[in-house]
Structure 1
Amino acid sequence: MGGGGSPLGSPRDDHRRAGLGWRPDTRSPESRTRSQTMADSSFDIVSKVDRQEVDNALNQAAKEISQRYDFKGVGASIDWSGERIEIRANAEERTKAVLDIFQSKLIKRGISLKALDAGEPQASGKEYKLFCTVKEGISTDDAKKVAKLIRDEGPKGVKAQVQGDELRVSSKSRDSLQEVQRLVREKDFDFAVQFVNYR
């Protein structure tokens, strides 16, 4: 048998048996990397709250209220009432003072106050009550505002798609995605946002 043939079992031999021409990938590693990174990158804009951290902040506030001398005998309390947070005290200013303590605990635990919808103290018999609601999700109207901001002021080639109570932002440029995040942060919407699910 003459020499010079391809070794048995080589990729070239396999392609010939399959009736295919041998076409080795002659691209440089850099070129192959560039082609792989041409796919869109993306992230999601969401408005979510860690309920456990909210609960931790509430418990810390309740503990502080129970230990502070200036809250003795004013009937001050804070607790869950279903899905809402209920604050009670025998005076309007004491009710607001409890709210201030709760908000400070939220901030220390990394919860944006934009996620807290606090009402005004309301008289109820001999005491005052104040209810707070924890806000989650981006409403349809707010999602449209974010999408319009990205479309009007964001980098070219960036797409923003509303998906339920969040948005998916995609682009071939990671730099453009970072620019979108900066833009959304600086706009300072009246609802909390986070950037998650990087792809």
Structure 2
Amino acid sequence: MPSFDVVSEADMVEVRNAIDQTNKEITTRFDFKGSDARVEQKENDLTAYADSEFQLTQVKDVMTNKLAKRKVDVRFLDEGKVEKIGGDKVKQVIKIKNGIEGDTAKKIVRVIKDSKMKVQASIQGDAVRVQGAKRDDLQAAMQLLRKEVPDTPLEFNNFRD
């Protein structure tokens, strides 16, 4: 029976490359000369440091541009609140979301059931497996999900015949 998995995962290699490029650009830019602006990555957490809140927004702009150029969807980023770390220096923790949350998974299953397509969807951990009798039905389900769930970056993998 043909099937595929609906997942939401960022390519961590591309994220690492984008962070490296961000730090390289920050060190060469004139408006960051002598500042402590940088972005650090610890697994799924990014921490942006800067000397002021204005510089922090500049650092985040550079980072989102680099991520977009490397085809990493910025909807994966979940920004925390800005914290003061001494003097005027600030930092912000940005989490990278991986996996489909429970509410989104339920929404995907509901969208597929409400569409009356001849496919079944089941939640399996942080992914949703969609099964159907025909490959065309599965491709129609992919198009439907791209249209109906715009707030989450979805990927379709593990396609089997």
| TM-score between both structures, scaled by the size of structure 2 | 0.92
Match of 1:104 in 2: 65
Long gaps (5+) in structure 1: 1-39
The answer to whether residue 33 in structure 2 is matched with residue 79 in structure 1 is no
**1:1-199 equivalent positions in 2, closer than 5 A:** 40-81=1-42, 83-126=44-87, 127-153=89-115, 155=117, 157-199=118-160
Number of equivalent positions: 159
Render the CA deviation track for 1:74-103: whole Å, top value 9, x for unaligned.
Answer: 321111246421111111011011011111
For 1:195, give the aligned amino acid: F
Bigger strand share: 2
| TM-score between both structures, scaled by the size of structure 1 | 0.75
The 1:173–1:114 alpha-carbon spacing in structure 2 relative to 1, beyond 3 Å, is same
How much does 1:145 deviate?
Answer: 0.8
How much does 1:154 deviate?
Answer: 5.1
> Secondary structure of the residue that 2:81 maps to in structure 1?
coil
The higher radius of gyration belongs to 1
Higher relative contact order (CA 8 A, sep 6+): 2
* Percentage of pairs with the same residue: 37
Distance (Å, rounded) in 1 between the aligned partners of 2:62 and 2:16: 14
What is the alpha-carbon root mean square deviation over aligned residues? 1.4
Long gaps (5+) in structure 2: none
For 2:101, give the aligned amino acid: S
